């Protein structure tokens, strides 16, 4: 199974990357992942804390598989 999404953002790639890579700030802008912890580097594991519809909490541990600054951040 794979999930992919895209959106056009009126900002530079460097600005978007800075926000995506700052896991500790996810709570400030991401309504689904209320917090995220770890190191954004290929092979590292990050922990994502989500709030599902209805308020149920969920935690996922994901391995970073691709880091290409200003271009791509991919995890499994």
Q: pTM (2 decimals)?
A: 0.79
- Give the range of the structural domain holding residue 19, as residue numbers without chain letter: 13-67
| 53 pLDDT above the threshold of 90 | no
Asked if residue 75 belongs to a domain, the reply is no
Tell me the mean pLDDT in the region 29-56: 93
Asked if residue 44 belongs to a domain, the reply is yes
Interatomic CA distance for residues 67 and 76, integer angstroms: 12
Interatomic CA distance for residues 27 and 33, integer angstroms: 7
What is the structure's pLDDT at 5?
80
Tell me the mean pLDDT in the region 21-34: 92
Tell me the mean pLDDT in the region 20-29: 93
Residues composing the chain: 76
Interatomic CA distance for residues 27 and 73, integer angstroms: 18
Asked if residue 74 belongs to a domain, the reply is no
Asked if residue 8 belongs to a domain, the reply is no
């Amino acid at each position: 199974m794979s999930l992919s999404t895209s959106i056009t953002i009126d900002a530079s790639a460097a600005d978007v990357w800075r926000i995506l890579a700052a896991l500790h700030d996810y709570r400030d802008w991401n309504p689904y992942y209320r917090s995220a912890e770890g190191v954004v580097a290929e092979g590292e594991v990050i922990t994502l804390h989500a709030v599902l519809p209805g308020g149920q909490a969920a935690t996922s541990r994901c391995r970073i598989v691709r880091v290409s600054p200003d271009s791509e951040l991919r995890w499994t």
